[in-house]
Amino acid sequence: MKLGVLLSGRGSNFLAIAEAIRTERLKGVEIAVVISNVAEAGGLKAARELGLKCEAFVSKGRKREEHDADVIGCLKAHGVELVCLAGYMRLLSPGFIAAFPNRILNIHPSLLPAFPGLEAQTQAFEYGAKLAGCTIHFVDEHLDHGVIVLQRAVAVEDGDDAHSLAERILVEEHIAYSEAIGLVASGQYEIRGRLFVRKGA
């Protein structure tokens, strides 16, 4: 299965996916292209250094639909079958979501539906949550909302601050994203309403 990775920043989740593929913890998938809406994104530089195909489509100042049309065109041109948002700081237009129905994954650093939106780890910490974590979910037309593929939890410890909590969540993110991609790529699941159900479960 061909993956298209979209990112805006440092790209540690992208690198964790690339490493899982390289070490064959994640089998049957390849990264066909890495796309960023930020030309100087660290993740894009890292992808270039790995010799992957990369594209930057700068989104600043452009209409969402027009920018998304470029990204969709690039994904299709590379035969992408599963889109993985990995710190892609941009809402997708309805046309984008329709172009890849149940074929776009996102990672969010909270146990959804708690704490959608920006700075989820800080939101969880300041709320006083005792369990935090991360969620891999399909993308639908609502923010941080689609069907959940998997979650990994992290205990909030005495002495944590938002930064230390975010660091421990990130460790789990790096494990969870590859696992979720593997599940989706296997095709051994069905979606019943909001439920992601593994076949045979």
Nearer to ligand GRF, 4 or 109 (CB): 109
Segment near ligand GRF (CB under 6 A), from 23-31, 106-114, 125-133, 153-161? 106-114
For position 135 contacting ligand GRF by CB under 6 A, the verdict is no
For position 116 contacting ligand GRF by CB under 6 A, the verdict is no
Q: How far is the CB of 29 from ligand GRF (least distance, A)?
A: 17
Angle CA(51)–CA(47)–CA(96) in degrees, nearest 5? 115
For position 102 contacting ligand GRF by CB under 6 A, the verdict is no
Dihedral sign for Cα 180, 135, 147, 105, please: negative
Task: Please select the residue that binds ligand GRF; options are 18, 86, 105, 176, rule is CB under 6 A.
Answer: 86
One-letter identity of residue 72: I
For position 4 contacting ligand GRF by CB under 6 A, the verdict is no
Task: Please select the residue that binds ligand GRF; options are 132, 173, 176, 178, rule is CB under 6 A.
Answer: 173
CA distance 19 to 118: 27
CA distance 179 to 184: 9
For position 68 contacting ligand GRF by CB under 6 A, the verdict is no
108 flagged as catalytic: yes
The pairing of beta strand 104-108 with beta strand 131-138: antiparallel
Binding mask 5-44 for ligand GRF (x = CB under 6 A): --x-xxxxx-----------------------------x-
Please name the residues in contact with 107: beta carbons below 8 A apart, sequence gap of 6 or more. Answer: 13, 85, 86, 87, 134, 135, 136, 173, 176, 177
Task: Please select the residue that binds ligand GRF; options are 31, 46, 108, 149, rule is CB under 6 A.
Answer: 108
For position 151 contacting ligand GRF by CB under 6 A, the verdict is no
Q: How far is the CB of 88 from ligand GRF (least distance, A)?
A: 7
For position 133 contacting ligand GRF by CB under 6 A, the verdict is no
CA distance 21 to 29: 7
The runs of H, that is alpha helices, within 3-133 are 12-22, 42-49, 64-77, 94-99, 120-127
Enumerate the β-bridge partners of residue 154: 132
- Given the rule CB under 6 A, which residues bind ligand GRF? 7, 9-13, 43, 86-87, 107-109, 170, 173
**Residues carrying an active site annotation:** 108
